[in-house]
Amino acid sequence: MDMMEKLEILTASAKYDVACTSSGASRSGQSGSLGNAVSMGICHSFAADGRCISLLKVLMTNGCIYDCAYCVNRKSNPTRRAAFTPEEIANLTMQFYRRNYIEGLFLSSGIMRSPDYTTEQLIAALELLRNVYNFRGYIHVKAIPGADDVLLSRLGLLADRMSVNIELPSQESLNRLAPDKSKQSILKPMGLIKSKITENSSDLVKYKHAPRFAPAGQSTQMIVGATPDTDYQILNLTEGLYKKYGLKRIFYSAYTPVVEDSLLPALDTKPPLLREHRLYQADWLLRFYGFEAKELLDEAAPNFNPLLDPKCSWAINHREQFPVEINRAPYETLLRVPGIGVRSAQRILKARKAGSLDFYALKKLGVVLKRAQFFITCKGKPLEGLKVGEHTLLRSLMSGQELAKFQLPEVEQLSFFDDSYMAALPEASTAATFGKGV
């Protein structure tokens, strides 16, 4: 099989892994070496289907001894197989880099023979790149669950970022769809990577030139929609992973049916992209807005509202916490107001030092008043002439795209909600919230 054929098979097999969008490593070019990495994230872009296409994203092999039901590379799937040698991977990366096609490498693999053997092959490819070709560009490599700690430790010294895919949110789902894997076998390497990164940061304080272990940290990927797991389960797991393992990012991948299996959604099922989007929004709230998973969802309402983003849903479910007085509210409270983001909250704090703010000033500071107006006061007063009704509120909180999908009447109705709207909302977001008026 020639290189082009292999490349075609092994890049196509890698495209379902989404955990590759950012870098976070900063390393400048050096004489005698080739490449650099930028902390803003290696130049990344997205294909029409939303997947990252920036790095040379390739598998070492798509042959696998495991049989995960959701995976196109599972051993029981009759697909064309191919494998690169470490030399071929290193060569290909250098050729692509020199031609300016890529700025780094995302290398994963099916499990050949054993997790240890596979990891040894990954190490061989990365050693060639780093030590023979002096490649200093960004490398993201998959850590193979079940591989020996010593091997994973060597791998981490060659890569910028490592990731171990958790794939499914619960042990029950893993048992059903990935019987060769266990939650423990996935969490163990995550724990090892975390402790190696911590160890490495104290080494770097003592020895400036100590080799760096996965300087861009670790990430993981979760498949959404292949199993009945709820958003609540996924978000709780997300929160735990960020706290316990210090992950830099968790990527959510809307399940795209690629294989027929009675345990999985039918082949003509559309990937739940909106659900994936809501999870990314909620993930952002956990990382930068001080929210906890249990504030956004619970067992009674375990899935996100398809029509409103998680922050707006939270706000209309917690009307008792509003309105917020812009001239007095602490930073953490400002962040919870729909229409106020991290930057506008910071600007408000700064501007307040010079004097009281009114609605005009807020607009100039970047606050999205269309959303925020229902939840704030300035100098004790709401926006002059603000008319509050169910449809006005919803139209203001929904994005253009959401509105297009769900046409609300232009004119304010005197009656309560349309049945169609009520049907689309999760139960916990309806009577308890909108019925109160604003």
CB of 81 to ligand SF4, least distance (A): 11
**In the complex, what is the shortest distance from the CB of residue 104 to ligand SF4, in angstroms, rounded to a whole number?**
21
What are the residues binding ligand SF4 (CB under 6 A)? 64, 66, 68, 71, 73-74, 110-111, 178
Q: How far apart are CA 348 and CA 329, in angstroms?
A: 10
Looking from the CA of 355 toward its CB, the CA atoms found within 13 Å total 3
Q: Residue 415 Cβ, how far from ligand SF4 at the closest point, in Å?
A: 51
What's the min distance (Å) between Cβ of 181 and ligand SF4? Answer: 7
Separation CA 271–CA 173 (nearest Å): 18
Nearer to ligand SF4, 223 or 334 (CB): 223
Pick the closer one to ligand SF4 by CB: 69 or 158: 69
DSSP-based three-state secondary structure for 254: strand
**Tokens 């049907």 sit at which residue?**
423
Nearer to ligand SF4, 83 or 335 (CB): 83
- The least distance separating ligand SF4 from the CB of residue 75, rounded to whole angstroms, comes to 7
Compare residues 181 and 311 and give the one whose CB is closer to ligand SF4.
181
DSSP annotation string for 94-150: HHHHHTTS-SEEEEE----S-HHHHHHHHHHHHHIIIIIS-B-SEEEEEPPTT--HH
Cβ proximity to ligand SF4: between 21 and 61 the closer is 61
CB of 64 to ligand SF4, least distance (A): 3
Nearer to ligand SF4, 63 or 104 (CB): 63
Q: How many H-runs (helices) and E-runs (strands) does the chain carry?
A: 18, 8
Structure tokens at 44: 């990344």
Cis peptide leading into residue 145 (ω within 30°): no
55 within 8 A of 216, measured Cβ to Cβ:
no
Rounded CA gap, 93 and 90, in Å?
Answer: 5
DSSP code of residue 73: T
- The nearer residue to ligand SF4, 71 or 94, going by C-beta atoms, is 71
CB of 413 to ligand SF4, least distance (A): 50
- The set of long-range contacts for 209-216, using a CB threshold of 8 Å and a minimum separation of 24, is 211/157, 212/157, 213/153, 213/156, 213/157, 214/156, 214/159, 214/160, 214/161, 214/162, 215/24, 215/25, 215/27, 215/160, 216/22, 216/23, 216/24, 216/25, 216/37, 216/138, 216/140, 216/160, 216/161, 216/248
- Our CB check for ligand SF4 shows the closer of 68 and 335 to be 68
* Residue 23 or 73 having the CB closest to ligand SF4: 73
CB of 229 to ligand SF4, least distance (A): 17
Query: 395 in helix, strand or coil?
Result: helix
Q: Please tell me whether residue 10 adopts helix, strand or coil conformation.
A: helix
CB 224 to ligand SF4: min, Å: 15
Nearest approach in angstroms of CB 222 to ligand SF4 is 13
- Between 66 and 374, name the residue whose CB sits nearer to ligand SF4: 66
